[in-house]
Amino acid sequence: MKELEDKLAELERKKIETDAVKEEIKQISRYAAYEFTYTSVLKYSDRNSFMGVDIPLTENNFVATIDGRINIGINGDDVKFIENADSDGRVTAVNLFVPHSRILDNYTIQESLEIFDEKNNIFNPVRPEDYNGLLIEAAKQEETKILKSDILKKSDETIKYLLISHFQAVYGEGVEIRYTLTDSPPAP
């Protein structure tokens, strides 16, 4: 009985140690103009082969769907601004230097994975790596769709409106807000 209690205590101690392997708190400053949600259809098929010849009765496959979300916008830390003042020190204009929009994050919602048709074979079972590989591929395909569309340009326009409105509210109507879309903002 004592042995079992010691073993349970050891397992609990190990669990506590592994719970805190990676913890990090970051301040996030992002302007997300668009959130793109998607459902991807995942198709997988595999068969063992030997010297280029498929081995009968080793086929496995599945069809599934998974939901995901892509946020599009800019990182607020990349926005730079320079104030222009008159001889009395009053701000007359603000120059904004803003990077182009990009994909901020892309993640699949693991709980949404739904398998519709699965043919699993004892000689060639579907492994977790097979699912993970397809999830990664689905996320990449959705990113490619975003990059081929005009959504990044639309995001640039939305971010421009948001930032100019924000800076105009802070500085007042008498201050000119100049907006420059750039790939590399100037150093402060």
Mean pLDDT by runs of 10 across the 188 residues of the chain is: 63 49 56 85 64 62 80 89 89 93 87 67 54 75 90 93 90 91 63
For residue 35, what are the domain limits?
A: 26-182
pLDDT in the model for residue 20: 44
In a domain, 151, yes or no: yes
Side-chain-side CA neighbours of residue 88 (13 Å): 2
> Which parts of 25-175 are beta strand (E)?
30-46, 49-50, 53-54, 60-75, 80-85, 91-99, 102-119
In a domain, 2, yes or no: no
Q: What is the pLDDT of residues 57-108, one digit of tens each?
A: 556 666 777 788 999 999 888 889 899 988 888 889 999 999 999 999 888 8
Q: What is the pTM of this model?
A: 0.67
In a domain, 105, yes or no: yes
The total number of structural domains in the chain stands at: 1
d(CA 75, CA 71): 11
In a domain, 59, yes or no: yes
d(CA 50, CA 58): 11
In a domain, 33, yes or no: yes
In a domain, 43, yes or no: yes
DSSP 45: E
In a domain, 17, yes or no: no
In a domain, 154, yes or no: yes
| Owner of token pair 């205590």 | 9
